Amino acid sequence: MKLADTTTVQTVIAQILAAQESSRDDGGVETIPLERALGRCLARDLTADRHQPPFNRSAMDGIAIARADLPAAGPQNTLDCPEEAWCFQSLGILAAGQDPGPLAHPGFSGNTSQAGRTPSESEARPSPGAVPLKRAAGTRDNKQAPPLPPCVEIMTGAAVPPGFDTVIRYEDLQRSPDSQAAGKNPPSPEPGPEAGPVRWICRGSIPARGANIHPRGADYQKGAVILEGGQIITSSHIAVLASCGYTQVPLRTLPSITIVATGDELVSPDTTPLDHQIRASNHLSIAGELTSWGFPPGEVRLCPDDPQALTETIRRGLKESRVLILTGAVSKGAYDHIPGILEGLGVEIRIHGVSQRPGKPLLVGRARKAGRADSLVLGLPGNPVSALINLRRYLIPALALQSIPGSSGRIWAPGPASPMSSWAALGFPLRLAREITFEPPLTYYPGVSLEMYQGELTLVPVRGNGSGDFFHLSKTAGFIVMPKDRTRLEAGSLVQFYPWGV
């Protein structure tokens, strides 16, 4: 196929998606330790091994009470309590991680070995051991005083003991005897025998039943799908997976990627070049951009413009990888051997030349392999700006798509819970701070920086010296799309922005 420049951007996207889809290995699953799963794509649905929370979890430091122990009429005076207050007698103190069974409500008749279970309605009803307070206000006859309703001092994260159903915060309580103020940290220890029983006094209103308790199974139930296959794993997913004991996670395998940079003028960056040579940089910037979106290349090679060496390097790259990225030697020069070599190796060249700037000589090919998934071949121009912009514009969104199961043939959009990077891979609209004009009838990708203007993130064009000027690219946050049919984009207009990865 001869280098042309009539192919549209839309055709390139369609061809890359088609080639990429055919190079996809749907069976590719690997099991990886959870700590290394961040940013990777989950291969299948994972389910919960227990409820979350696994027990009725106190959400506050304070006391657990049984709401039904209290008479509906309102606070009563009771033994040693001031007027118009609720009083509770402490059975003990419970820290997170302690078995709440021994501190079950005296009236609880269930099995305390299953202390974390959600109390049933009958279990949560007033218990016979807790006598409702019936004494008249002002009465101070200790002998006739009925026992106080029980409570348990409880810390945030502790399992609410069976038979209790409401937590009152320390801030809303006073302790009696008041040798230690309520709400102190560390919480007040049980007094010695001489100090008498600890009572907690609540002068305000008692919160509703269930207050300050995070009920067992409220977030998810045992057996529920906690994470769907196809999800890109973020730090919050790591928390969910860890809580269900998934220390090893099934992940979709990453596409194998080889980068080959070609050119006789190129020397390795660790070499001092002769005056007419340059240090190669594209292979590293391309590898960096791929890695920053979660697709690290397996192999990165430099190769001179020697047809035999190139043929061997490309043959090897096709064999070893699903995506072969070449940079340089795709234009019309006497030493631009790449298209010919690809054709010689049986690669179908689907696109060579796109009506865009930069990146006009872009090449897209597909290598069919008997009995195996195809390989996608991307021939990026050697000019550093063209190489990086084309990679970001076409391959990064296609690779992001590849990691999503079942996305075949559809315009892809990440799921609602997808991380920002999934959305950003596709580009998103932002406002242009300054006008851009461009006359040629080509899709144009000018570099832009980001600036805050009146509280809004805006795009500012960055001037450069063409597609060989990689220095100006280092001052950009990404680039935008100026469609082929536009010669002017006004300041304030919304444009599609493609950020670089980080």
CA pair distance 81, 133, nearest whole angstrom: 12
C-alpha 216: how far from chain center:
26
Least Cβ distance, residue 357 to ligand MOO (angstroms) = 5
CA pair distance 442, 5, nearest whole angstrom: 9
Task: Output 109 or 281, the one with its CB closest to ligand LQZAQKY5.
Answer: 281
Torsion 210-211-213-219 (CA) sign: positive
Which residues are paired to 169 by β-bridges? 62
Q: What is the largest CA-CA distance in the chain?
A: 110
Task: Output 266 or 396, the one with its CB closest to ligand LQZAQKY5.
Answer: 266
Least Cβ distance, residue 496 to ligand LQZAQKY5 (angstroms) = 22
Q: If binding is defined by CB under 6 A, does position 340 make contact with ligand LQZAQKY5?
A: no
Torsion 416-422-425-429 (CA) sign: positive
Please name which of 240, 292, 232, 221 lies closest in space to residue 417, comparing C-alpha atoms: 232
281 binding partner (options ligand LQZAQKY5, ligand MOO, none; Cβ < 5 to 8 Å by kind): ligand LQZAQKY5
CA pair distance 417, 162, nearest whole angstrom: 36
State the alpha helices, DSSP H only, in 403-457.
420-425
Both tokens of residue 118? 């959600």
- Quick check: helix, strand or coil at residue 420? helix
Residues in CB range of 331: below 8 A, 6 or more apart: 3, 361, 381, 382
In the bound complex, which residue of the shown chain has the CB atom lying closest to ligand MOO?
386
Compute the half-sphere exposure of residue 262: CA atoms within 13 Å on the CB side of its CA.
28
CA pair distance 254, 271, nearest whole angstrom: 32
Q: What is the residue whose two structure tokens read 């600036």?
A: 451
Torsion 99-100-106-109 (CA) sign: negative
Give the strand pairing for 323-327 and 257-262.
parallel
Q: Where are the beta strands (DSSP E) in 119-214?
A: 150-154, 166-169, 174-176, 199-202, 213-214
Pick the binder of ligand MOO from 51, 360, 366, 393 (CB under 6 A): 360
Q: If binding is defined by CB under 6 A, does position 386 make contact with ligand LQZAQKY5?
A: yes
Task: Output 222 or 332, the one with its CB closest to ligand LQZAQKY5.
Answer: 332
Cβ contact 93:150 at 8 Å: no
Residues 72-91 that bind ligand MOO (CB under 6 A): none
Pick the binder of ligand LQZAQKY5 from 40, 175, 360, 366 (CB under 6 A): 360
In the bound complex, which residue of the shown chain has the CB atom lying closest to ligand LQZAQKY5?
382
- Quick check: helix, strand or coil at residue 96? coil
Task: Output 280 or 401, the one with its CB closest to ligand LQZAQKY5.
Answer: 280
Q: If binding is defined by CB under 6 A, does position 282 make contact with ligand MOO?
A: no
Q: If binding is defined by CB under 6 A, does position 467 make contact with ligand MOO?
A: yes
Number of other residues whose CB lies within 10 A of the CB of residue 94:
24
> Candidates 320-328, 378-386, 408-416, 422-430 — which segment interacts with ligand MOO by CB under 6 A?
378-386
Least Cβ distance, residue 289 to ligand LQZAQKY5 (angstroms) = 14
Both tokens of residue 33? 């330790």
> Candidates 10-18, 130-138, 243-251, 327-335 — which segment interacts with ligand LQZAQKY5 by CB under 6 A?
327-335
Pick the binder of ligand MOO from 212, 256, 375, 383 (CB under 6 A): 383
Task: Output 20 or 443, the one with its CB closest to ligand MOO.
Answer: 443
Q: If binding is defined by CB under 6 A, does position 65 make contact with ligand LQZAQKY5?
A: no
Q: If binding is defined by CB under 6 A, does position 269 make contact with ligand LQZAQKY5?
A: no
CA pair distance 74, 416, nearest whole angstrom: 47
Amino acid at 295: F
Task: Output 12 or 160, the one with its CB closest to ligand LQZAQKY5.
Answer: 12
Q: If binding is defined by CB under 6 A, does position 390 make contact with ligand LQZAQKY5?
A: no
Task: Output 176 or 383, the one with its CB closest to ligand MOO.
Answer: 383
Q: If binding is defined by CB under 6 A, does position 469 make contact with ligand LQZAQKY5?
A: no
Cβ contact 392:500 at 8 Å: yes
251 binding partner (options ligand MOO, ligand LQZAQKY5, none; Cβ < 5 to 8 Å by kind): none
Residues 385-424 that bind ligand MOO (CB under 6 A): 386
User: ∠ CA(48), CA(404), CA(394), 5° rounding?
Assistant: 155
> Candidates 52-60, 167-175, 190-198, 276-284 — which segment interacts with ligand LQZAQKY5 by CB under 6 A?
276-284
Least Cβ distance, residue 473 to ligand LQZAQKY5 (angstroms) = 12
| x/- map, 242-261, ligand LQZAQKY5, by CB under 6 A | -------------------x
Q: If binding is defined by CB under 6 A, does position 282 make contact with ligand LQZAQKY5?
A: yes
Site for ligand LQZAQKY5, rule CB under 6 A: 261, 263, 265-266, 278, 280-283, 327-333, 336, 358, 360-361, 381-384, 386, 467-468
Site for ligand MOO, rule CB under 6 A: 357-360, 381, 383, 386, 467
